[in-house]
Structure 1
Amino acid sequence: MGKKIIIAVLFLSAYTAVFSQEKLLTRDEAMKKALENNFGIKIAGNQVAIADNNQGILNSGYLPTLTGTANASYSRDDSTIEFPGQLNDDNSVRADVEIDKAEAQRYSSALNLNYTLFDGMGRLYNYKRLKEQYQLSELQARETIENTLLQLFSVYFDVARLTENNNVLKQALEISKDRFKRAEYSFEYGQNTKLDILNAQVDVTNDSIALLNVEQQLINAKRDLNVVLNQKLEEDFQVDTTLTFIPSLKLEEYLGQSIENNVALLQTERNLKINEYDIKVSKSGYLPTVGLTGSYGWNLNQSAASAFFPGTNNTTYNLGLGASLSWNLFDGGKTTVAVRNAKITYENQELVKQQVALEVERDIQNAHTVYKNLLNIFKIQGQAVITNENNFERSKEQFQLGRITSIEFRQAQINLLNAETNKNLAKYDAKLAELQLLQLTGQLLNINF
């Protein structure tokens, strides 16, 4: 069983050697791909495009409407006209008149122009409301982009952490393999017992299984990253494992500007302005509406001859101008109710703004505390790695001299392994906490990754 695991690890090592030759996916490149390809960001961009269309002059109600109409009709009559009891001048009976194929055509066309000159200012405030709605959609798209970037780097850092853990476990496995060989040589020369070989083989098996698990986790994490980037799941890449943290003075500057830049607070401001315009739009129902109309028409009426009249062709051109005033003096109270409800909605939005402001302030303080704590843990874990490296090197020397047992040496190796993996976890946890803090301060899209 142990040999099978070792063979599997060797296969994965060969696979990783090939894999390591794959291209490097930098953080900037990953962010660029996400902005171009991510489904959520594309949908948010389309929503902004819709809001942009809605805020244009074509949707404002300020332009007139022009309609064209045209009509055509045709009729053909066959008729017989009788004159009962009527006599001609010579006292003969007046004959019937038959009219066959009496055709008549009618043609008409017209252009009608309508323009609302004044509608109680409702059109103006609705136009301004659409402008605010567009700005709100931009903020919503920005929030989607920020959340997507956080998701992206959460997965990206997971890949980076597993990559570093993979390297650490490879080193641990090489150390265990070397110890296994030394145990076999020492047994051949009678310097130790079979138990030392078995202990070494058990440790090789355990390290092999740990490496297999990390390799599988790494493959899965890369697939997750490919989903975020909207690219083929089998796409191969390496990630950048180097990290830098923002200087504390710069971070303090961002914290001081968080109220002006936080996307959630900016959205509440836009919603409040929209509700303010809703009140004014509702109040426009109290005022009259003044409209202008204009029309130009052409008519052609061709009638067939009858028993008494000859056929005629009648052509008419018509030009008309008009003005109208409509004032709904009482609409059963609907406008009053609409205004009252709009005011209540505005008051609710003010409460929402206060609530969001308090929650954002809390979230920023919590995120700042978490970030500083994780940064300190990362520094402590860095020192722990140095301490465990020194301890491992000393234990290695003592083990080779036969002064400590294989169990004590293995414990030193495990301590170093745990310290290195804990350091990797702390490093990427601290960086992700930094990005979360930058999002809350409204600076996530303004920094270099």
Structure 2
Amino acid sequence: MNLYKKLSALVAVAVLTVTAASAQEFLTLEEAVRIGLEKNYAIEIARRNVELAQNNVTLGNAGFLPTVDARATRTFDNRDSRQEFETNPAREVSGARSNSLNSSLNFNWTIFDGMGMFVNLDRLRTLKISEELLTKATVETTVADISNAYYEVVRQAKKIQPLIDAVSLSAERVELIREQYRVGVAAKVAILTAEVDYNADRTELLRQQENLKTAQINLNQLLARDPDLEFNVIDTIQVITSLELNESRIQALNQNPALLRARVNQELAVLDLRSAQASRFPVLGVTSAYVFNRSESEPLNPFSPISNQSKGFNYGLTLAVPLFNGFNRTRLAQNARILIETSRIALSQTQQLVESDVARAYSRYQNRLRILDLEESNIQLARQNAEVAMERYKLGLLTALELREAQRNQLVAENRLIDIQFEAKAAEIELRRLSSTLVIEGVAQ
């Protein structure tokens, strides 16, 4: 195949690629995050848990409201009886039937329980806050995962073009050596070597296309979409370079969901102690009932009634004074105090962990920015070197091995720059996740 045919084939492939790409969905990071927040399974589960916690925050669940229940019992009886008297003959009744109806409407209301109902309501509200913080953490982690997966697609897509350029250069080199061979200034082995390099570049391009497809599948999985759905992404990775350590640390201490949940757990431990203390107080309640009873029966003797009916209502107060329950109230109070101390230690541990994570993330972020500056300078040198090497090779001033080395150096430099751009962006995303500034009102910033 001559150079014209090879270049024509490359152009045809490029046209087909562009045509296929134009028919594909263009997916922005904001759109990916929106889809993820709407459809991601972990977020859906977390939101359901928040709904459950919200449903539990009611006065009735805390014990403020009275209870009213109605009861009714209907019974039927069929019995044989024998009555013996001292002076009269025995009296026998077979199959005597009777039935009764008992019904009541009961009202119970606890009006004082040592402030336990107030503690229960505070606990329910605190549990709801805990679930909301867990959902927030899930959202931020999901947004970070989606962002990283999105920029992984960008990275793998950006690596395609350098490989296409490498294949084009290798094809040009093969054709050039063929021309040199025809005029007798190149050996057959040079053609074979150039073709081996050309095939190696094509293989690497195919592998890179596979990497791109895998990255797209991974992102589609996070978005709960069809894994085979193809799409296009932006072609640049913009890294925020203005993040500061002190500001990130302060934001993390004030906003990090893990740290906030540790503080909420400390509040729950205090509420457990208040609940144990409330159980030592008497419980005062109001009770009332309306009762209706009616029974009918066949008489067993002349003096037995055939029906009996009663109805009416009652009301009063109930007072329960806890005296002794095997020291269980004391045990619960002691355990609550232990949990308060444990939660205090856990809070300190979580705070230290968050601060350490922020420090590590910022160090990585700063280092990646420095490397990014070096690689941006280095890529210019690598490109210039490859261009000069190609011109010298055409003039016969450079060997094929030296040309290949220059081309490989350029490809490696291109890949290093793309990789460090991705790593710098990933470091930025992690730092913003830890400081809880990655998501504002459900939108990736």
TM-score using structure 2 length: 0.90
Residue type matched to 2:389 in 1? Answer: S
From 165, 175, 194, give the equivalent of 2:169: 175
Q: Which residue of 2 aligns with 1:358?
A: 352
How far is the alpha carbon of 1:272 from its aligned partner? 0.7
Matched, 1:438 2:440: no
Structure 1 Cα separation of the partners of residues 325 and 81 of structure 2: 56
Contact 1:19/1:237 (CA < 8 Å) preserved in 2?
Answer: no
Q: C-alpha separation between the residues in 1 aligned to 2:183 and 2:70?
A: 108
1:428 aligned partner: 422
Q: Which moved more, 1:386-395 or 1:425-434?
A: 386-395
Distance 1:98 1:269, change over 3 A: closer
**How does 1:404-423 map onto structure 2 within 5 Å?**
404-423=398-417
Look up the match of 2:3.
none
What code does the residue aligned with 1:274 have?
L
Q: Residues 286-323 of structure 1: CA distance to partner in whole angstroms, max 9, x if unpaired?
A: 21111111101112222334541375443321201021
SS at match of 2:277: helix
Change in Cα spacing, 1:131 to 1:312, as seen in structure 2 (3 Å) is same
- Contact 2:120 / 2:275 at 8 angstroms: preserved in 1? yes
CA apart distance, 1:125: 0.8
Q: Does 1:30 align with 2:32?
A: yes
Determine the structure 1 residue equivalent to 2:65.
Answer: 63
2:184 aligns to what SS in structure 1?
A: coil
Residues 257 and 105 of structure 1: CA distance in aligned 2, closer, same or farther (over 3 Å)? same
In terms of mean alpha carbon deviation, does 276-285 or 389-398 score higher?
389-398
Q: Map 1:4-403; keep pairs closer than 5 Å.
A: 16-17=17-18, 19-21=20-22, 22-76=24-78, 102-246=96-240, 248=242, 253-309=247-303, 312-403=306-397
**1:238-259 superposed Cα distances (whole Å, 9 cap, x missing partner):** 2223232335168864444331
Find the aligned partners of 1:348 and 1:440 in 2 and give their Cα distance: 24
What amino acid maps onto 2:21 in structure 1? S
Greater Cα shift, 49-58 or 266-275: 49-58
Shift, 1:132, TM fit? 0.7
In structure 2, C-alpha distance between the alignment counterparts of 1:309 and 1:101, rounded to whole Å? 18
Deviation at 1:35, TM superposition (A): 1.1
Secondary structure class of the residue paired with 2:239: coil
Q: Is the 8 A contact 1:19 1:236 kept in 2?
A: no
Task: From the superposition, tell whether residues 171 and 112 of structure 1 become closer, same or farther in structure 2 (CA, over 3 Å).
Answer: same
Q: Indicate how the Cα distance of structure 1 residues 206 and 60 shifts in structure 2: closer, same or farther if over 3 A, else same.
A: same
Shifted more, 62-71 versus 52-61: the winner is 52-61
CA–CA distance in 1 between the matches of 2:26 and 2:322? 69
Deviation larger for 307-316 or 425-434: 307-316
Letter aligned with residue 285 of structure 1: S
Q: 2:247, 2:351 → 1: CA distance?
A: 19
* Worse-superposed segment, 187-196 or 430-439: 187-196
TM-score normalised per structure 1: 0.89
Partners in 2 of 1:421 and 1:431 — Cα distance? 15
Contact conserved, 2:249 with 2:355, CA < 8 A, in 1? no
* Structure 2 portions without partners, runs of 5+: 1-5
Matched AA of 1:46: R
- Work out which of the two has the higher radius of gyration on C-alpha atoms and give 1 or 2: 1
- The aligned amino acid for 2:66 is P
Q: Which secondary structure does the structure 2 equivalent of 1:172 belong to?
A: helix
Secondary structure of the structure 2 residue equivalent to 1:248: coil
Q: Deviations over 1:335-380 (max 9, x none)?
A: 1121111111101111111121122112111111110110121121
CA contact (8 A) 2:245 2:362 kept: no
Q: Work out the CA distance in 2 between the residues paired with 1:168 and 1:344.
A: 62
Give the 3 Å change call, closer, same or farther, for CA 405–128 of structure 1 in structure 2. same
Provide the C-alpha distance between the structure 2 equivalents of 1:396 and 1:23, rounded to a whole number of angstroms.
Answer: 38
Greater shift in the superposed pair: 96-105 or 358-367: 96-105
Alpha-carbon offset, residue 332 of structure 1: 2.5
SS across alignment from 1:127: helix
